[in-house]
Amino acid sequence: MRLHSSSVAERGRDLLRLPLKTNRDVVAARQAVARELKARGARPIRVTRFATAVSEIARNTVLHGGGGSFAVFLDPASGYLMVECRDAGEGIADLDRAMTDGYSTGGSMGRGLGGAKRLADRFEIETGPGKGTRVILGARL
């Protein structure tokens, strides 16, 4: 899968960038996203849906990706609030299976990826064995 917003230069300056190494970073990431959405007038239901999606993906970065980084930016084309979680971990070998509800390699319930995709207005993923994982989530404002 190819990503639209492939470079920082194309997408403009990040609103914020945080490390994703620990459990506490996951909390900081989802709280930061909730703050950014609220500051832009998003309704509570949309804040919760999107922050939940971010929480799922950020946890994957910490748990399966061995840690990575988190960035929030605005997509100039769509005006969406975007989130990027990336790691240099082992990547996902069978993406189709990983996207299926109920499938998991990490001992969780395996609803993370599929659930996050349903909850976000935009979802892109770039991964492969040994290539790390990069997920972009977008919320309509």
Partner 1 sequence: MSGVAAINLVENALLVSIQDDVTDTDIIELQDTLSQRIALEENIRGVVLDISALEIVDTFVGRVIAQLAGIARLLDAQTFVVGMRPAVAVTLVELGMYLPESRTALSLTHALAQLKRG
**Which residues contact partner 1 (rule: CB under 8 A)?**
23-24, 26-27, 30-31, 34, 44-45, 47-49, 51-52, 55-56, 59, 101, 108-109, 111-112, 115, 118-119
Q: Which of 27, 77 has the CB closer to partner 1? A: 27
Structure tokens at 123: 């979802």
Q: How far is the CB of 73 from partner 1 (least distance, A)?
A: 21
Q: Judged by CB, which is closer to partner 1: 5, or 55?
A: 55
Q: Is 35 exposed, middle or buried (0-12, 13-18, 19+ CB in 10 A)?
A: middle
Residue with Cβ nearer partner 1 (53 or 71): 53
Would you say 29 or 92 has its CB closer to partner 1?
A: 29
The 3-state secondary structure of 30-64 reads: HHHHHHHHHHCCCCHHHHHHHHHHHHHHHHHHHHC
Annotate 2-19 with DSSP letters as a single string. Answer: --SS--HHHH---SEEEE
Beta-bridge mates of residue 20: 68
Query: Least distance from C-beta 33 to partner 1, angstroms?
Result: 10
Distance CA 21, CA 3 (A): 24
In angstroms and rounded to an integer, the radius of gyration of the C-alpha atoms of the chain is: 14
CB of 48 to partner 1, least distance (A): 4
Q: Considering the complex, what minimum distance in angstroms separates the CB of residue 137 from partner 1?
A: 13
